[in-house]
Amino acid sequence: MIYKNNKSVLNYIFGNGSKSSLRPILNDKRTVEKDIVVYFFDIHFKVDKNFLKNIDIKKTDIIFYHNTKEEPTTQYINGIINQLFNCNKDKICAIVGIGGGATMDVAKAVSNLLTNAGNAEDYQGWDLVKNPGVYKIAIPTLSGTGAEATRTCVMTNKDTGLKLGMNSDFTVFDQIIMDPELTKTVSRNQYFYTGMDAYIHCIEALNGSHRNAIGDAYSSQTIKLCKEVFSSNGMMSDENRSKMMVASYLGGCAIATSYVGVVHPFSAGLSVVLGIHHCIANCITMRAMKEFYPVEYDEFWSMSEQQNIVIPKGVCNNLTDDQYDRLFDSTIVHEKPLTNALGNDFKDILTKNKVIEIFMQM
């Protein structure tokens, strides 16, 4: 029997106000005055600079503001690496990602590429990264994607239409700081869409064939917390925001030991072809998932109704034949999750007509 060696985040800090821990952690990483820290901030912080005032940013440090209107692409990551290579990259002592899943994924990808030659697209797949990346820290400002805990960073290659991550133990963050206070200003809709990513990760894992006792425990607790938050009358209360941040982390740990299922490949298709952001794409995909996840389908729509959240409808109506072809191609390419959900003969189940029929339900 072959046993899988699972990698987890090395260190984490949790609690209101814990964002203040970043400064002493970085001070420990700087061995000389000229050491460089590279920051990736959600674009939100370019306007609201209150958080930045509490960070000891040095003159030598480098700041990037990630525009979350578009999900990360391999071309975008390659551009950042080219900029950093023009600096003294050997002096970079830490990478910090502060934002939602996309911003954290950018930080992970850049960390890997600073120590592994080539382009981002060269490492889209499983266990292709060969060298440890630069020390990296995540501070999530949204809860649900689990990017702070997973071994992947998802990117879209616009040339090939492939949306896939650098799935590697070297992609796991070295340190995460989880401060629920940072989610206070998230809009209600976005809070729900992102939080549902944790729920969906775990229903896919529990309904798949690549299960294990530890992953099941993570998944079950994540689903329990999500139900408590999204079935309550105050999903964004202080208590529930703390619960949601825990659910996000545990959901990331769950999926790091397993695979997603049917939802995420279809969601990836919506992102690649129609440019719909990942978390809301997941929610849209749930419109067509009764066949695959009947119990969870009912739970999802009950919670969205409870919170009065509007999920877009009809996004795949009246598309061109070329768009439907691309939706099929960008969905069926995700062999590992679809095998996890449907078995080795998933292509016999998800024929082109069947896939288009499913998209038409969205």
Quote the pLDDT of residue 302: 98
* pLDDT tens digits along 264-289: 999 999 999 999 999 999 999 999 99
β partners of residue 94: 37
Q: 164 or 307, which is more confident? A: 307
pLDDT at 1: 54
User: What confidence tens digit (pLDDT) does each residue in 52-76 have?
Assistant: 777 889 999 999 999 988 889 999 9
pLDDT for residue 3: 75
Map out the domains of the chain with their CATH numbers. Answer: 11-183 (3.40.50.1970), 188-360 (1.20.1090.10)
Reported as a single tens digit per residue, the pLDDT across 141-187 is: 999 999 999 999 999 998 988 889 999 999 999 999 999 999 999 99
Mention every residue, 6+ apart, whose C-beta is less than 8 A from residue 82: none
Structure tokens at 215: 């992953």
Phi first, then psi, for residue 138 (nearest 5°) are: -120, 140
Whole-number mean pLDDT of the chain?
95
Local confidence band at 89 (pLDDT 50, 70, 90 cut-offs) = confident
Q: What is the pLDDT of residues 95-133, one digit of tens each?
A: 999 999 999 999 999 999 999 999 999 999 999 999 999
- What are residue 271's phi and psi, to 5 degrees? -70, -45
Amino acid at 83: Q
Q: Are 362 and 316 spatial neighbours (Cβ–Cβ below 8 Å)? A: yes
> DSSP code of 310?
-
**Residue 176: which residues within 8 A CB-CB, separation 6 or more?**
9, 11, 12, 13, 137, 138, 139, 140, 148, 149, 249
Residues found in the chain:
362
Q: Estimate to the nearest angstrom the gap between the alpha carbon of 205 and the chain centroid.
A: 15
